Each structure stands twice: as structure tokens, then as C-alpha cells.
Amino acid sequence: MGNENILEIKELRTHFPTGKGSVVKAVDGVSFVVQKGKTLGIVGESGSGKSITALSVLRLVDEPGEIVGGEILFKGENLLDQKISKMRKIRGNQISMIFQEPMTSLNPVHSIGKQIRETLEIHEDLTKKESNKRALDLLKMVGIPSPEKRLTQYPFELSGGMRQRVMIAIALACNPDLLIADEPTTALDVTIQAQILELIKESQVEMNMSVMLITHDLGVVAETCDYVAVMYAGQVVEYADVETLFEEPKHPYTAGLLKSLPRHDIKMEELTPIQGMVPSPFDMPPGCRFAPRCPFATELCNQKLPDLIDLPDGHEVRCWIYSDEWDGKEGVEVYETSSIT
């Protein structure tokens, strides 16, 4: 697997006008890359802009939402310049998506077999007989028991885990180059979650597929991802390879997320929650968006929004602490494992 980028997002902005003259900047200057054959985890609290970023890649943002700026380069071509007819060919074929809730993504009035065949017939130009066989093979591949029987069944007749496997079968039907998985295990119990993630990982290796995994679960990120982008209030605040990020997070928000997780490898007296609330999208702070909750915030942080800063170890971080303009205490350690005793 080379290190070439299959997807490169530059300064993406997706906004939602409210009708009252204000604008919700759901995605506000997001940049990251997804490498060929690798998994990028996008992590953050609800409302941080993770799903809107994913929908923007496929240009599936519902009105009144609108992509107002930036570039989405897929294999070097800007998807924002493509006609809708070209995007329809790319969706489900070269880029596939597994949505959060399979019950709302699957059509309740069509059989499972028909829904898989539909994808194949649109993109692969197969006959009904050929698409039937391929649909059966896909159900076997994703580990659904009695696949012949399932082809004729409807979504309500399947369990949550099985419906999610069907969604994965549809997503993998055309051997995509990039799979976007939006919280693919949210509504499933822990055992099924592990099976679904393992299935995605196996499929990735088999197809040399790139994966963009959206989650709020740092445990899932640690297990499955190569790189991670941490999002907060519509922006990427930290970007690094997984090992570096977990060992030495640079942004106070990432450090706060990790300190609020139970750890088995060190003794912890208590979990440390992040104080305060995520800012309202209608009333963003004028400076750093995390400043109202940050223990290190200074006057500079409250007044001026920082850019993403490139650090020598490959880290990217949106924080004044690492800039020449920082007006606070020198040598700040945002994450000290030794302080968790």
C-alpha cells in the first residue's frame, strides 16, 4: 500500500442559512487527506460536523445546506466541479457510504435481494441472473446466515446486525476505492459491533480499499484506524497518526477526550470530564471555539481563531499554544500521563 492520497479535502465549508439572516457553519474550513488503502478516523462529539463532512464528499447535503467553499479532490479531480450525472456514477461505485441507521437507509417495501441487485444493475451492467448470483455471493461474504432465504426477505424481518451487514454488502457491491462508514455500529450491541468492524477491516485488506470511519468512540479509532482527525464545532482541531495522537495529544480538547476515558494500563482515581458545553452553532465564540471550555485559554484564545499549525512530528493542531503568538505560560503540557495516578 503506497502513501498516495485517494481523497484530499481542502478548506471545505458547508453552511446552512437559517432564514432569519444567520448562517450555521456546520463545516467551516475542514482539511484532511485519506491515503490509499488506509483508514482515517474522524472523531468528535455530536454536532461537530462529522456527518456533514461525509455527506459533502458525496454532495448529498440536503437543502438549504450548501457547500460554499473549498475543494474535494478524489483521485486528483475536484468533485465540486463534476456534473450531477457524473456524481451519480461515482456514488456507490467508486465511493460508497454506510449510513448510521440501516432501517432508514434500506427501502422497507423492497426485498433485500432487489436492493442489492439495483446497485449492481446501475453500475455493473449485469443481467438479472448475474446480479442475483452476485447478490448471493455478497451476502455470503458479509456472513449472513441462510443467504438464499434472506434475498427474498424485507428489512423488518432482519435483526439490526443483519441489516447493517446488508448495508455493507450494498456498499461493497462494486468494489469501491473509498468506503465512508458513518457510525456503522451505533445501534448494535458490543459483540455485533466488533464483528461489523472486523468485517469492514477484512474487506478493506481484500480490496485495498480506503476507509473514512466516522465515530465518537475513541476505542474504535484505536482498534481500526491508521490516522485520525479530531473535529470540534465544525473544524479539525488535531490531525495525526493514531499512535502519536493517543500517546501525545496536542490539543486540549483531544487531551480532555482521552482523560475522560477509562484506562486499564494505568491507575486512575477518577475520570476527568471536559467542563462546559459545545457552543451553539448560532453563537460561536469569536476566538478559538474550544476557548470557553479550555483550562489554558488566554486573551488571545478568546479573541482570535487559530489556524492549523504543522508540527515537526507530522501533527497538525489548531491551538495558539504551539504558535509564536502564544501569550500564556511557556512549556504547557496539555496531556501528562504522569498526572493521572
pTM for the full predicted model? 0.89
Q: What is the identity of the amino acid at 168?
A: I
Please check whether residue 115 lies inside any domain of the structure: no
Question: Is a pLDDT exceeding 70 seen at residue 51?
Answer: yes
**Exposed/middle/buried for 160, CB within 10 Å: 0-12, 13-18, 19+?**
middle
pLDDT tens, residue by residue, 56-87:
999 999 989 999 999 999 999 999 999 999 99
> What is the pLDDT at residue 320?
95
How high is the mean pLDDT of the chain?
Answer: 88
- Residue 322 domain-assigned (yes or no): yes
DSSP H/E element including 11 = strand 5-17
What local confidence, expressed as pLDDT, does residue 30 receive?
95
Check the CA dihedral 329-334-337-341 and report its sign: positive
Average pLDDT over residues 104-123: 87
Q: Is residue 5 part of a domain?
A: no
- Least confident range from 31-35, 126-130, 132-136, 265-269: namely 265-269
Would the pLDDT of 297 be above 90?
Answer: yes
**Residues 6 or more apart from 308 whose CB is under 8 A from it?**
31, 236, 239, 316, 317, 318
- Work out the widest C-alpha separation in the chain, in whole angstroms: 70
pLDDT given for residue 76 in this prediction: 93
Question: Is residue 69 in a domain?
Answer: no
Q: Determine, yes or no, domain membership for 50.
A: no
pLDDT score for 152: 93
188 pLDDT exceeds 80? no
Q: Which residues, in sequence order, are bridge partners of residue 229?
A: 42, 239
Residue 23 lies in a domain: no
Query: Within a domain: residue 189?
Result: no
Confidence (pLDDT) at 271 = 67
- Residue 339 exposed, middle or buried by CB count within 10 Å (0-12, 13-18, 19+): exposed
Helices 160-172 and 128-141 meet at what angle, rounded to 10?
Answer: 130
**Residue 314, phi-psi category: left (phi > 0), alpha (psi -120 to 50), beta (remainder):** left
Identify the pLDDT of residue 20: 77
**302 domain-assigned:** yes
Least confident of 40-54, 99-113, 128-142: 99-113
Structural domain tally of the chain? 1
Provide the edge-to-edge strand list for the sheet that holds 5-17: 23-35, 5-17, 66-74, 77-78
- Amino acid at position 155, single letter: P
pLDDT digits (tens, 9 = 90+) for 205-254: 998 999 999 998 888 899 899 999 999 999 999 999 999 999 999 999 99
User: Which residues constitute the domain of residue 271?
Assistant: 246-339
